[in-house]
């Protein structure tokens, strides 16, 4: 099902992707470059979007946006869809910190260069472990990058 979330692919005019690569949010420019130059698909799935299923005609990078007004964790997403897509992926990133470009570009480069699907979860630190558990449960061999905040004093 495409339509409950934003899908960027071959139907986006090149000049719009050029604009996104040059002037889009810094942390997403590498992803947009991989979409434009590497022929990968890209989707953002917001909280409570319901079921989603990415086509298998080319590699895709999916961002699960669990950081809107509040982070709700995996329960805010269609669990079977998340598990199904994570099982297809070879790389994933959990961004529970500021938007560090390499956490976004890593899965996109793997999608472009190795033709593997990639998953990116934007969330808050309190949900980091829950997301990691769900992703590893769906795909124990996945390469998982985790961007977290530095603990401040004492045991956290």
Q: Model confidence over 91-142: pLDDT tens digits?
A: 999 999 999 999 999 999 999 999 999 999 999 999 999 999 999 999 999 9
Query: Does any domain span residue 53?
Result: yes
Could you tell me if 139 and 116 are in contact, meaning their C-beta atoms sit under 8 angstroms apart? no
Residue 48 falls inside a structural domain: yes
154 within domain boundaries: no
Domain residues for the domain of 55 are 6-147
Task: Specify if 1 maps to a domain.
Answer: no
Residue 152 lies in a domain: no
Residues paired with 7 in a beta bridge: 43
| In a domain? residue 92 | yes
Domain count, the chain: 1
Q: Yes or no: say if 45 and 77 are a contact pair by the CB < 8 Å rule.
A: yes
- Let me know how long the chain is: 156
109 found inside a domain: yes
State pLDDT tens for residues 68-98. Answer: 788 999 999 999 999 999 999 999 999 999 9
Radius of gyration of the chain (CA): 15
């Amino acid at each position: 099902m495409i339509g409950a979330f934003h899908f960027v692919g071959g139907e986006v005019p090149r000049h719009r992707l050029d604009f996104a690569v040059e002037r889009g949010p810094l942390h997403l420019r590498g992803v947009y470059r991989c979409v434009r130059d590497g022929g990968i698909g890209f989707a953002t799935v917001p909280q409570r979007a319901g079921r989603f299923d990415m086509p298998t005609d080319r590699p895709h990078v999916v961002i699960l946006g669990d950081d809107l007004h509040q982070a709700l964790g995996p329960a805010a997403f269609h669990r079977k869809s998340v598990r199904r897509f994570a099982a297809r992926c070879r790389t994933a990133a959990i961004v529970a910190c500021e938007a560090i470009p390499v956490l976004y570009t890593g899965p996109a480069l793997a999608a472009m260069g190795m033709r593997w699907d990639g998953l990116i979860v934007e969330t808050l630190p309190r949900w980091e472990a829950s997301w990691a558990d769900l992703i590893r449960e769906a795909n124990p061999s996945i390469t998982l990058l985790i961007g977290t905040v530095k603990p401040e004093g004492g045991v956290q």
